[in-house]
């Protein structure tokens, strides 16, 4: 003999209408840390997950770098495209005053990234927001020259980078390159061919 009929609806209701407890929302700090880790690992899916959990697309990490700056310097083109599509600020500055384009120019041969950033509004001659930024660099061309990327230097010159724009110490990209232990003869040759001032 089964339970009385009036008990069955109550039992079914208890099963059908028991509330499902949702997992607690991830904190903004935790989501931002997940975003940083995803970018370091070049993991687009993990990055999208972090953003969906509340990570800020323009959140700042160590030294004030944004997610887009980290991706730009690492050359993670798919990460950068996704961040730009989500509203990442192309004109942001890190704690040392560098632009996003400067981070890309400092990241080794990175022409595809430079093209992407400029297509989204980064200006080739945009300067830092500080008078004495890191390593004295104030433009993307100066960053490319300092870190010795001939490919980046060639591209930026072709895009109209002002070869004799100076930093706060009055140094041109060529003068910066000649002082740098990271630069190369190819960079120096490119700058001289573009009529860069050595003195």
Are residue 68 and residue 102 in the same domain, yes or no? no
19-23, 129-133, 144-148: least confident range:
19-23
Residue 15 lies in a domain: no
d(CA 156, CA 139): 10
Report the share of the chain in percent with pLDDT over 90.
65
Identify the helix (H) or strand (E) that includes residue 80. helix 77-85
Are residue 85 and residue 139 in the same domain, yes or no? no
Is a pLDDT exceeding 90 seen at residue 175?
Answer: yes
Residue 7 lies in a domain: no
- Containing structural domain, residue 63: 28-89
pLDDT tens by residue, 106-125: 998 999 999 999 999 999 99
| CB-based contact 54:25 (threshold 8 Å) | yes
Higher-confidence residue of 163 and 134: namely 163
CATH of the domain at 70: 1.25.40.20
Q: Mean per-residue pLDDT for 5-27?
A: 47
Are residue 106 and residue 147 in the same domain, yes or no? yes
d(CA 185, CA 170): 22
Are residue 117 and residue 163 in the same domain, yes or no? yes
Is a pLDDT exceeding 80 seen at residue 145?
Answer: yes
Are residue 79 and residue 130 in the same domain, yes or no? no
pLDDT tens by residue, 62-99: 888 999 999 999 999 999 999 999 999 999 999 888 99
pLDDT band for 131, please (50, 70, 90 cuts): low
Are residue 107 and residue 186 in the same domain, yes or no? yes
Which of 50, 67, 89 is the last residue in one of the domains?
Answer: 89
| CB-based contact 82:47 (threshold 8 Å) | yes
Per-residue DSSP letters for 39-96?
HHTT-HHHHHHHHHTT--TT-B-GGG-BHHHHHHHHT-HHHHHHHHHTT--TT-B-TT
Are residue 113 and residue 160 in the same domain, yes or no? yes
Does the pTM exceed 0.95? no
Are residue 61 and residue 101 in the same domain, yes or no? no
Are residue 70 and residue 126 in the same domain, yes or no? no
Residue 114 lies in a domain: yes
Which of 61, 89, 117 is the last residue in one of the domains?
Answer: 89
Distance of CA 139 to the CA centre of its chain: 16
Average per-residue pLDDT for the chain: 86
pLDDT band for 18, please (50, 70, 90 cuts): very low
pLDDT band for 169, please (50, 70, 90 cuts): confident
Q: Mean per-residue pLDDT for 39-60?
A: 92
Report the share of the chain in percent with pLDDT over 70.
84
Are residue 107 and residue 33 in the same domain, yes or no? no
pLDDT band for 199, please (50, 70, 90 cuts): low
Question: What tokens were used for 88?
Answer: 């990442």
6-15, 88-97, 127-136: least confident range:
6-15
Are residue 77 and residue 108 in the same domain, yes or no? no
For the chain, the domain total comes to 2
Query: In 10 A of CB 109, how many CB atoms?
Result: 17
Q: Mean per-residue pLDDT for 149-171?
A: 94
């Amino acid at each position: 003999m089964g339970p009385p009929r009036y008990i069955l609806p109550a039992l079914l209701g208890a099963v059908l209408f028991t509330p499902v407890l949702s997992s607690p929302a991830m904190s903004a700090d935790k989501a931002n840390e997940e975003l940083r880790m995803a970018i370091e690992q070049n993991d687009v899916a993990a990055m999208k997950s972090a953003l969906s959990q509340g990570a800020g697309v323009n959140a700042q990490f160590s030294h004030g770098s944004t997610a887009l700056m980290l991706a730009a310097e690492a050359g993670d083109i798919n990460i950068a495209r996704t961040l730009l599509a989500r509203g990442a600020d192309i004109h942001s500055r890190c704690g040392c005053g560098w632009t996003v384009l400067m981070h890309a120019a400092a990241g080794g041969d990175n022409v595809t990234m430079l093209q992407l950033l400029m297509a989204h509004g980064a200006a080739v001659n945009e300067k830092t927001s500080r008078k004495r930024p890191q390593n004295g660099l104030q433009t993307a061309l100066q960053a490319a020259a300092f870190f010795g990327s001939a490919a980046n230097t060639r591209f930026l010159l072709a895009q109209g980078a002002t070869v004799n724009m100076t930093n706060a110490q009055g140094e041109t990209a060529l003068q910066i390159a000649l002082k740098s232990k990271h630069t190369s003869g190819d960079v120096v040759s490119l700058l001289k061919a573009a009529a860069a001032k050595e003195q």
